[in-house]
Structure 1
């Protein structure tokens, strides 16, 4: 490959770490490659004082990077898969899904060792409606307050006492080498992670076969099957950051098991179910589970959330 391979990335510490890891893996597989990172500021990086649900939800952290891809200013983009909308712009595709990091949510707190041990009326910080709603489902007495900012900013606010606890993704802390900051891991069978949490999606132009070929060695089939089921579930629900939806899929041999969740903002009404299908039917599994939950009450929850948005 004669040209320099340009990776589009957000400028946060975590986004840069993820992109550097992809760059290192590509360099190891293709030592002849010239690879550089191009930092692109996204809407989500610019608006830090408003909840994500109020400013458009999904796509906030990828739109400008996708525009750079389509304009051929970069050749590929490294995203946290949970930030990627279910529908991609025409002309772009997910060329590779590397092996997944830990998909769980975690508690970071100086006040208690677990969510259950937090004091009465403790203040939880999170920018995620899904996390806030699930915390209230388990502990209705908690007070959930909006927490925005990059990972290091959110950790600092947990340390300085601005919140009694914050809920974050384990994957980001692992990738940054900050496992020691984690107070407790939240059981994914009880506290359902976000769609695609812990997974990366490497996006490229659909017609750039050279780049797709270079990325083939980074693709993990099991992770891709799990993420396909989760994203199909989200797409069928027509959901995004503005609604509390969770989905967690695991590959078990030749099958994929998917747990889907739709929960009201106050945590009082919860629809969840687990279904299993062969890996090659992961997309169908996600769609069918979404329809089942819609018929069992999720449609009412989603309508109420959208009415209040």
Structure 2
């Protein structure tokens, strides 16, 4: 029986544990050869003595799959290029890029430090941009002599789509990832590359670190299992999703849906005088759909 990702080569950043590990296992079970990219660090940046990515690569190989380990730092432009090159050198090609790596430095807007802002933007947003840049250049060159069916699968969040208190840096990075993904979809489509996002809901060490979350209850709740987002990643990585691009898929064990992005709402002829402008904008606001919060309620 042919598997959905047979003969495909995938990179998964932040693939050592949590969502990334679920993606790796799902893609490997679907027949893909996987580059497991992970720095081997905890959320605070310190080294993780358990080295979960090493164990995961060994697990995949023991099950008969193909996997290699990458310790490249995707927030560094050149190392992101070396990661893409590792996939090509190890397996002869690259077909799928899954950007999952991330860190948290949650803080209220007025208390956040520059270092806390920079750390989150570097890993989430710059890391996604850097890997897309190098993978996109590789696919552009390959498209000159073969027909491609390649994939970019990026990770956004409800915080980036709808906002969340205490996560300005994270929300900005995740919103930026959606914008970058849309540009990639527009620019790389002519080379046979699609670009989409997932907005996953799952219990991981990252969500466990968020104040107010009951980490144990979430971990025991199957609706927060990483297997649900991983299933969508497999579909997006496979030929089944051919032609689907520029979309954001909201996925958890509680809900599967499509996030609707910015669209042109109510409008009018331009108005300049202050009183007329106030009346016109109030009218348009009354006609426009309200913003949604992370749970879909208006705010």
Q: Same fold (TM over 0.5)?
A: no
Interval of TM-score (by shorter of Structure 1 and Structure 2): 0.3 to 0.5
Larger RCO of the pair (alpha carbons < 8 Å, separation 6+): 1
**TM-score of the pair, normalised by structure 1:** 0.33
The answer to which structure has the higher helix fraction is 2
**TM-score of the pair, normalised by structure 2:** 0.33
